[in-house]
Amino acid sequence: MKRIELGIVALSHSMTQSHNYAVVLGERRGQRRLPIVIGSFEAQAIAVAMEKMVPNRPLTHDLFKNTLDTFGVQLREVVINNLLDGIFYSRLICVKNGEMFEIDSRTSDAIAMAVRFECPIYTYDFILEAAGVVLDEGEEEGGRRPVPTTATPMDSQPLERLSSQELTERLQNVLDAEDYESAAKIRDELKRREKN
């Protein structure tokens, strides 16, 4: 079976399931997208790694990566290898001392690990045929969005109204509080200002 490489296109609230998020994977060389519903914890773990944030204490996926690194195990790639009854199945393809082995994984965890190891994500055509959607020509390609967050007392004032200094201070506060979803939102606002 031919493998198809995917990249993360978007991360957002799921439109179909409340309290869940969706990670959208897209073909590197094609127009098909693969939306996968994931939990809020996994969405946060993916967002933290995508934004290159360093939490005060390691998150579960960081701990797992640190453990693999300590014991000389390298994650080579992630393969989304099956779809049964609407559930995606994945394998972590690892290498240690030249020996390759596979580890069964939930797809959301596999993606969180792939982002941390900066390794490719693959799937098969039959999975994209069954669960993929084709990007319309008018839709925006390539961009990704951070995980949206709900308002908390800390961010009751819109970020656009705060100065860069206030945003930087707020970013440090939310990182200290381990609120990584809010941190991603603040960091995106700071990046937007840098571009302008």
pLDDT digits (tens, 9 = 90+) for 126-158: 999 999 998 655 444 444 333 333 333 344 467
Residues 6 or more apart in contact with residue 125 via CB below 8 angstroms: 1, 2, 4
Q: What is the pLDDT of residue 106?
A: 96
* Both tokens assigned to 27: 């073909």
pLDDT band at 17 (very low <50, low <70, confident <90, very high): low
pLDDT digits (tens, 9 = 90+) for 107-121: 999 999 999 999 999
Average pLDDT on 151-176 reads 68
Residue 74 and residue 51: Cα distance in Å, rounded? 22
Domains of the chain: 3-134 (3.10.690.10), 153-195 (no CATH)
Residue 179 has pLDDT above 80, yes or no: no
Closest Cα to residue 110, out of 38, 166, 169? 38
Give me the chain's average pLDDT, please. 83
